[in-house]
A and B are shown apart, each in its own frame.
Chain A
């Protein structure tokens, strides 16, 4: 009986756009949904460091190198705030990381594609961060306070990353024929996986349900995908690159682009672990984590010794 009342109060807060804070009562499903979503988002930031990290040592100018390093450092920072936001839901970063490494928790499938040329640093910034921003702008209004605040902070940096990525693409698209070919190839490889980042069609999305009613999610997968496509097509045209979708066409009536069907078999295959880099990414994460055990143990042992010394003194 009490739970019904609490649930009504909770829904009333959501309906009147009052943020839910860590100490507030919340339904168990709301907590679980957020734990899953925020940790998945944190893991994506952290795993996302790998495909971009793949090109730091080979960045073609010192300026490009520092820009890329700073960007990856931002991603690590985003991972850090998101883990902190997720920890407010009563589960530790270590537990979340254990779920990632066991395969129980997911991260964005886009990072299971390889970065093969320098143009991929452009495509990742422009398309992957571009798609992430559309989603994150919407999540700034999400109902859970710590998540919403993390999104506001993250969006500022992400829009900068997207411009940097676009700058790389634009430079290469107007460069030598080889550079232009690399830019087009990167767009060809990253376009479809980027638009699939928004997830399955609304009609097939298993996690939508209460997420809309509870305002965790403010817009649906298909709405967000459409926004991304509409803003990106023109950007490709400006730099003379072609979006690899023959069905792409402006629809005057609905005021947005029509586009071709995505390859959902590929999508689900990658989600299930069969993408080109799934094993590589996870093994890399596990290896670094394992190689750091003795360092973390030493830091803890040292801190404990210091504390004991203080107590004696």
Chain B
């Protein structure tokens, strides 16, 4: 595999995960448990979609076929999206969202920490900028996890169930293939198994503070590397792409 092809795919992975999680967070608008949370969740969405724009644009530039961020967001099919399986999980109740985001934020946090030293200047710059945002995201989701875990009996039970349900999508975050191998050799990408060690520590600490129990590692779903998704992604994409698909000639 050529470095160029690997890089295109790597940028799509980063960009798509931010885009899909950003789209999910936007669904919270006007649905938050308090007005302040509505504002916070919109902020997360804004950051994530901003991150997606940078990585999708860059993927298009590396590809060199003139595809823009919007071409990539709006004109690809479901089987061409490389986002993490976790990012497309539905919002569910507030606790489900908090857990999903917590697991994902911790992943992005350590990934971007490591990618700050990427030999690809654009990825390094993107990581350096995003880490500021993701640090806040991780703090936000961790604080809520602690509040809900150590809040009432009801909130504790709810959020433990969310954690149990979402756990099986965390293995997918750390899977690697030839794309990673090629880019790790070039010093562009990082070894996700190393990221997982850091991730595990944070997850354990916050779960403990939350008085919750870390689920056993049982079966883990895969999919991200082969653009294999749950049924949920197709609906999200259909909704997101509607105008661009219905009026392909239009400029907005």
Chain B binding surface, main DSSP class = helix
Segment of A16-24, A60-68, A130-138, A258-266 in the binding face:
A60-68
Interface string of B213-252 (1 = CB under 8 A from A): 0000000000000000000000010011011100101111
Interface residues of B in 112-168 (CB under 8 A from A): 146-148, 150-152, 154-155, 158
Interface residues of A in 18-72 (CB under 8 A from B): 46, 49-50, 53, 56-66, 69-70, 72
Chain A CB count within 10 A is highest, among B32, B33, B52, B73, for B33
Chain B residues with Cβ below 8 Å from A305 are: 150
On whether the beta carbons of B39 and A284 are closer than 8 Å, the reply is no
Pick the contact of B35: A70, A79, A172 (CB < 8 A): A79
Pick the contact of B147: A57, A63, A302 (CB < 8 A): A302
Chain A, Cβ-Cβ closest to B94: A295
> With contacts A49-B30, A299-B147, A302-B146 known, is A57 near B252, CB below 8 A?
no
Interface residues of B in 21-52 (CB under 8 A from A): 23, 26-27, 29-39, 42-43, 45-46, 49-50, 52
B100, CB-defined interface residue at 8 Å: no
> With contacts A58-B242, A292-B33 known, is A298 near B155, CB below 8 A?
yes
B70, CB-defined interface residue at 8 Å: yes
On whether the beta carbons of B53 and A57 are closer than 8 Å, the reply is no
How far apart are A113's CB and chain B's nearest CB, in angstroms? 16
On whether the beta carbons of B252 and A61 are closer than 8 Å, the reply is yes
Chain A residues with Cβ below 8 Å from B158 are: 294
A118, CB-defined interface residue at 8 Å: yes
How far apart are A98's CB and chain B's nearest CB, in angstroms? 15
Interface string of B1-33 (1 = CB under 8 A from A): 000000000000000000100010011011111
> With contacts A65-B49, A294-B155, A305-B150 known, is A176 near B36, CB below 8 A?
no
B79, CB-defined interface residue at 8 Å: no
> With contacts A291-B33, A291-B94 known, is A64 near B252, CB below 8 A?
yes
Give complex CA distance A176, B69 in Å: 22
Chain B residues with Cβ below 8 Å from A293 are: 33
How far apart are B85's CB and chain A's nearest CB, in angstroms? 20
> With contacts A49-B30, A297-B152, A302-B147 known, is A61 near B46, CB below 8 A?
no
Interface residues of A in 144-177 (CB under 8 A from B): 168, 171-172, 175-176
B194, CB-defined interface residue at 8 Å: no
A232, CB-defined interface residue at 8 Å: no
On whether the beta carbons of A296 and B33 are closer than 8 Å, the reply is yes
On whether the beta carbons of B70 and A61 are closer than 8 Å, the reply is yes
Give complex CA distance A288, B158 in Å: 17
Chain A residues with Cβ below 8 Å from B43 are: 73
On whether the beta carbons of B32 and A171 are closer than 8 Å, the reply is no
A220, CB-defined interface residue at 8 Å: no
> With contacts A61-B70, A62-B53, A179-B250 known, is A298 near B32, CB below 8 A?
no
Give complex CA distance A305, B153 in Å: 13
On whether the beta carbons of B53 and A72 are closer than 8 Å, the reply is no
A301, CB-defined interface residue at 8 Å: yes
Chain B residues with Cβ below 8 Å from A308 are: none
On whether the beta carbons of B250 and A288 are closer than 8 Å, the reply is no
> With contacts A288-B30, A298-B154 known, is A62 near B38, CB below 8 A?
no
B76, CB-defined interface residue at 8 Å: no
B201, CB-defined interface residue at 8 Å: no
Pick the contact of A80: B32, B36, B50 (CB < 8 A): B36
Give complex CA distance A179, B246 in Å: 11
How far apart are B81's CB and chain A's nearest CB, in angstroms? 15
Chain B residues with Cβ below 8 Å from A296 are: 33-34
On whether the beta carbons of B239 and A62 are closer than 8 Å, the reply is no
> With contacts A118-B252, A175-B251, A296-B34 known, is A53 near B29, CB below 8 A?
yes
How far apart are B88's CB and chain A's nearest CB, in angstroms? 13
Give complex CA distance A205, B151 in Å: 49
Interface string of A171-202 (1 = CB under 8 A from B): 11001101100000000000000000000000
Give complex CA distance A171, B243 in Å: 15
On whether the beta carbons of B30 and A176 are closer than 8 Å, the reply is no
Give complex CA distance A175, B242 in Å: 17
On whether the beta carbons of B240 and A57 are closer than 8 Å, the reply is yes
7 new A-B contacts at CB < 8 Å, known A59-B243, A64-B252, A66-B49: A60-B74, A61-B70, A79-B35, A284-B31, A295-B37, A296-B34, A305-B150
What are 9 sample pairs from A and B whose C-beta atoms fall under 8 A apart? A58-B240, A62-B56, A62-B70, A76-B38, A176-B250, A292-B94, A297-B151, A298-B155, A299-B147
Taking Cβ atoms with an 8 Å cutoff, the residues of A that contact B are: 46, 49-50, 53, 56-66, 69-70, 72-73, 76-77, 79-80, 83, 118, 168, 171-172, 175-176, 178-179, 284-285, 288, 291-299, 301-302, 305
Q: Which 8 A-B pairs have the closest CB atoms?
A: A292-B33, A298-B151, A298-B155, A60-B252, A295-B33, A60-B243, A73-B42, A49-B30
